[in-house]
Structures are given as C-alpha cells and as structure tokens.
C-alpha cells in the first residue's frame, strides 16, 4: 500500500537558517503530494501541493518539488522565522488507485529560536 | 467561510461515559474523515465516509461509531469511554477523493480527556 516517510523531529533552528524537511513516498498509482502545517493548538492546513512529477509547490516562502525518480517531496525554506515553528506533515493522495484515504507521514516538529 | 466545524473543543469524560463529537462542513464535500492524534504522534484514521449513508472503518475504529445521514454532518460517537481514548480528534473533508489533487480541509480539533 501507499506510505509516506518523513524525517524525525524535532528540527531546531535559529532564525534565518535554511530549512529542509525530507519526505519520501511509495505509491501504486500517480499520487498528488502535499505538505500540511499544524500550528500549536490548531488543525492542519494546506501549506503547498504538487499534482504531477516535476511540479513545484510554493507558499509563504516554502517550496517542494515532486521528484518521481527519487520518490521525494522535500520541504525547503531559505530563511525561517520564529512564526514558522509548527508541525509539518507530508501527505499523498492517490485517487487513481481506488483509495479514498489520504496517507500522512508522522509529522516533523520545527522549533525556531530567535 | 465556516469550513469544517467541530464541537466541543474541549471535554473531560469519566471512564464509562459516552459522548458524541460533532462535525459539520458547509462546502458540500462528499468525503469526510475522523482522525485521532496522540501527543507527539501522527494522525490515525478512525472512520471515513464517501457520501451520505456510507461509512467505513479506518485503522483504529474500536470503541467508536459514526453515522452519515446528511452530506454536511459526520458525528463520532464514543461508547464507554476509556483512558486510551484521551486524544485530540480531528474531522476533515475533501470534495472528491477520486481526484488526487483535492485539498483536505481540517477542523480545529476536539481535545478529549478521559479520567
């Protein structure tokens, strides 16, 4: 079945540092890939997505590129801020396989210090 | 723009009590889900629904029940609450899971403690 693996956290950075959170996936069909963010005390919300190979999703300075050859969708940001402290979830949705259930990674906690 | 609305936001239950977590969405989405999130852990799917009148079990359905009588509402029933059900519960919806690019919309969560 489908699966998503993302790096263990917490990731602790100083403000203005470069961020990478790794995400790899396995899927039987042609999935769309997502990054969701969960701020403290809130639900998950979409950060960015890509629906086909080589697409780049971007939002709020975050980027991720859908790499089919390496089955990866790594999240990057050039300069993090304290307000980026949150839990980040990589996810995939593979409707073509007949599954109606999106697959989420375990989440990576990001802590940014001033 | 209400989106996905969950109530209550916080609740303390005694062991053996029952309660219903309410979830409503106003986006006319067919697909709805209930997840639980334990501290420091990811999401675990409890139940899901692909449309009114249709529900199915996820990976952790024991101790829970759901119904889907309308497109808008997807309540989660906890019967005979146990401490293991202490968790944060999220309801979510998406227009059509057959199209893989559709975003999933989450409610703000319901914090449940069983003592």
What is the structure's pLDDT at B97? Answer: 67
DSSP string, B79-90: -S--GGG-EEEE
| Count of CB pairs separated by less than 8 Å, A with B | 68
Check CB contact under 8 Å for A100 and B97.
yes
Min CA distance, A73 vs chain B (Å)? 15
- pLDDT averages per 10-residue partition of chain B, 115 residues: 91 97 95 92 92 94 97 96 96 82 91 96
* Chain B residues with beta carbon closer than 8 angstroms to that of A29: 100
Task: Band the pLDDT of A99: cuts 50, 70, 90.
Answer: low
Angle made by CA atoms A13, A15, A16, in degrees to the nearest 5: 105
Instruction: For residue A57, report the phi and psi dihedrals to the nearest 5 degrees.
Output: -95, 145
CA–CA dist B97, B115 (Å, integer): 37
Q: How many other β-carbons are positioned within 10 Å of the β-carbon of residue A6?
A: 24
Condensed to tens digits (0 to 9), the pLDDT of residues A14-50 reads 999 999 999 999 988 788 999 999 999 899 999 999 9
* Chain A residues with beta carbon closer than 8 angstroms to that of B94: 102
CA–CA dist A59, B99 (Å, integer): 22
């Amino acid at each position: 079945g489908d699966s998503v693996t993302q790096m263990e956290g917490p990731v602790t950075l100083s403000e203005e540092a470069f961020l990478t959170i790794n995400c790899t996936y396995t899927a039987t069909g042609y999935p769309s890939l997502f990054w969701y963010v969960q701020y403290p005390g809130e639900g998950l919300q979409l950060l960015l997505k890509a629906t086909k190979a080589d697409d780049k999703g971007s939002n709020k300075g975050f980027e991720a590129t859908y790499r089919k050859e390496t089955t990866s969708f790594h999240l990057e940001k050039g300069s993090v801020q304290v307000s980026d402290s949150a839990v980040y979830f990589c996810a995939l949705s593979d409707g073509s396989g007949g599954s109606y259930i999106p697959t989420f990674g375990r989440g990576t906690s990001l802590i940014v210090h001033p | 723009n209400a989106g996905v609305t969950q109530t209550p936001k916080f609740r303390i239950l005694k062991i053996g009590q029952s309660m219903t977590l309410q979830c409503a969405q106003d986006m006319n989405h067919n697909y709805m889900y209930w997840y639980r999130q334990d501290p420091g852990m990811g999401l675990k799917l409890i139940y899901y629904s692909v449309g009114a009148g249709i529900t199915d079990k996820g990976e952790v359905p024991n101790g829970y029940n759901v119904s889907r009588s309308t497109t808008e509402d997807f309540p989660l029933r906890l019967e005979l609450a146990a401490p293991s059900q202490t968790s944060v519960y999220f309801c979510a919806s998406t227009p059509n899971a057959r199209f893989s690019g559709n975003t999933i919309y989450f409610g703000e969560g319901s914090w449940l403690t069983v003592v």
